Amino acid sequence: MRLDLFEADYPDIRELHLFSEMADAQFMKLMRGAYVQNFPPRIELITEGDSSDFLHIVLSGSVDLFSTWNGRETSMSTAWPVSTFILAATIRDAPYLMSARTLEKSRIALIPSRDVRAVFDADQRFARAIVSDLAQCYRSVVKAQKNLKLRSSLERLANYLLQQQKQSGSAKGFDLRFEKRRIASMLGMTPENLSRAFKALRPYGVSIDGSHVRIADLEDLKRFAKPDPLIDDSAT
């Protein structure tokens, strides 16, 4: 169901780095052409190769960004509230390089790409924010490549678990946020290799029961994983 974007959503969108410094008049130009839709889980929002007609903003829920080739599929990243996804395609007026689907019930705002490009030309502060966001996306891609190319699958899993443990509030036990098949895809592994990797981490204090992970000796796992801010710190 398509609805006009509610003014109640404006503050959340305005707080995003992308929109926070732009002129009020230009922000309202974007919002006038925007609308919001509610999507159930597992709905494909965009398909790689299609033209980038809209910039998407996740207001609630979560979105899986994924890609397919020759019968294979891999998860690339996850978009959480409140954030945009696939900004580069919008700015370049280029085809999407990834597909996107909802992981859960999600509320998505859509801004016409032509409006984003028009305001990019008219508002210098908005243009600077876009360049900054794209630079951060580029750095994230470099980190992901370093993670895949410099680390073994076991090291990738160990560092992933350390990140999840930190996000859970530094608890020794936490639940995985995604199903194991998707985690394997994100880490460049098969589900079978992921199961073997969990077993291989037992000497470092890692145990798993269903989706619940327990790390008995955090420092021991860190010594093995060797987390690096130039790979693992999203703020760097």
The Cα-based distances of 33 to 27, 107, 136, 190 in angstroms read 11, 17, 27, 43
**Burial label, 192 (beta-carbon count in 10 A; 0-12, 13-18, 19+):** exposed
Distance between CA atoms of residues 17 and 78, nearest Å: 18
State which CATH number among 1.10.238.10, 3.40.50.1100, 3.30.9.10, 1.10.10.10 fits the domain covering 151-232: 1.10.10.10
Which pLDDT does position 211 carry in this prediction? 94
Which pLDDT does position 170 carry in this prediction? 73
Write out the two tokens for 180: 């194991």
CB 88 within 8 A of CB 113: no
Query: Structure pTM?
Result: 0.87
Which pLDDT does position 3 carry in this prediction? 60
Q: What percent of the chain has pLDDT over 70?
A: 97
- The pLDDT tens digits for 156-179 are 999 999 999 999 887 789 999 999
DSSP per residue, 132-155: HHHHHHHHHHHHHHHHHHHS-HHH
DSSP per residue, the chain: -EEEPPGGGHHHHHHSHHHHTS-HHHHHHHHHT-EEEEE-TT-EEE-TTSB--EEEEEEES-EEEEEEETTEEEEEEEE-SSEEE-HHHHHHT-B-SSEEEESSSEEEEEEEHHHHHHHHHH-HHHHHHHHHHHHHHHHHHHHHHHHHHHS-HHHHHHHHHHHHHHHTTS-SEEE-SS-HHHHHHHTT--HHHHHHHHHHTGGGTEEEETTEEEES-HHHHHHHH---HHHH-TT-
Note down pLDDT in tens along the chain; length 236 residues. Answer: 456 666 778 999 999 999 999 999 999 999 999 999 999 999 999 999 999 999 999 999 999 999 999 999 999 999 999 999 999 999 999 999 999 999 999 999 999 999 999 999 999 999 999 999 999 999 999 999 999 999 999 999 999 999 999 998 877 899 999 999 999 999 999 999 999 999 999 999 999 999 999 999 999 999 999 999 999 998 88
For the four alpha carbons of 145, 150, 155 and 159, in that order, the dihedral sign comes to: negative
- In the chain, where the domains are located: 2-149, 151-232
Q: How far is CA 79 from the centre of its chain?
A: 4
Write out the two tokens for 93: 């007026």
DSSP per residue, 87-113: HHHHHHT-B-SSEEEESSSEEEEEEEH
Which pLDDT does position 5 carry in this prediction? 66
**Burial label, 35 (beta-carbon count in 10 A; 0-12, 13-18, 19+):** middle
Task: Assess whether the region 2-149 and the region 151-232 belong to the same CATH fold.
Answer: no
> Which CATH architecture is the domain 2-149 placed in?
Sandwich (2.60)
- The pLDDT tens digits for 21-46 are 999 999 999 999 999 999 999 999 99
